[in-house]
């Protein structure tokens, strides 16, 4: 087994085009906000090392394209994910309508218990009231581990969101590994084979 500092945990960002997936990743990785971000084509990724419970882990953030024409290849990037962030925008009601489509892409995961959170971006320029937001996300309360309101522009709760999903991914993988070891243990057979 690789030392913890060499293990990589793949976190996927999913959501409609324009919700701010690239800006969220850029804010966390580089602590920058760029007003001139172009839409992601296919996918791009960044890596960052973080500490979880005093141990070092490599986190790879995969930013996927949100445009309709690239959705057929998005499941290729979802494979092997240890954590998922579905991103919606406070400035785009349609981004909430697209959530079921993004969740459907997770059906290809071998491990259906991978942690999934909802990030509601652009809280700094909201066109949706808190009451409307609560109504929109209420139907998903059992789907996501949590819902976090963030702003890539101001940086509000971006670091916390990425650290939270990374921590969930690390702990989930370790729990799955422990379960696998427990289920593989076989008692020695005392009877002859044939």
Domain boundaries, the chain: 9-175
Beta strands in 90-168 (DSSP E): 116-121, 147-149
Count of alpha carbons within 13 angstroms of residue 112, beta-carbon side: 5
The pLDDT score that the predictor gives to residue 43 is: 62
* pLDDT at position 180: 42
Contacts of 44 (CB under 8 A, 6+ apart): 22, 62, 63
**Backbone dihedral angles phi then psi of residue 175, each to the nearest 5 degrees:** -65, -40
* CA nearest to 149, candidates 135, 130, 167: 130
Entry field: residues in the chain: 194
Residues 186, 188: Cα–Cα separation, whole Å: 6
Higher pLDDT, 56 or 66: 56
Residue 78: predicted pLDDT = 81
- Is residue 48 scored above 80 in pLDDT? yes
Domain boundaries 9-175, corresponding CATH code: 3.40.50.300
Out of 26-30, 102-106, 139-143, 162-166, pick the least confident.
139-143
């Amino acid at each position: 087994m690789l030392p913890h500092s060499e293990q990589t945990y793949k976190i996927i960002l999913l959501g409609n085009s324009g919700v701010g997936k690239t800006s969220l990743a850029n804010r966390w990785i580089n602590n920058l906000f760029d007003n001139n971000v172009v839409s992601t084509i296919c996918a791009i990724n960044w890596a960052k090392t973080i500490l979880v419970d005093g141990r070092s882990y490599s986190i790879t953030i995969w930013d996927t394209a949100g445009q309709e024409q690239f959705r057929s290849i998005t499941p290729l990037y979802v494979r092997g994910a240890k954590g998922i962030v579905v991103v919606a925008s406070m400035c785009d009601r349609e981004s909430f309508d697209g959530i079921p489509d993004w969740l459907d892409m997770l059906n290809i995961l071998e491990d259906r218990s991978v942690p999934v959170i909802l990030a509601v971006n652009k809280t700094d320029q909201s066109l949706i009231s808190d009451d409307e937001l609560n109504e929109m996300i209420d139907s998903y309360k059992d789907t996501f581990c949590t819902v976090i309101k963030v702003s890539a522009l101001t940086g509000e709760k971006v670091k916390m969101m990425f650290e939270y999903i990374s921590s969930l991914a690390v702990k989930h993988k370790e729990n799955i590994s422990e379960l696998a070891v427990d289920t593989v243990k076989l008692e020695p057979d005392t009877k002859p084979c044939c």
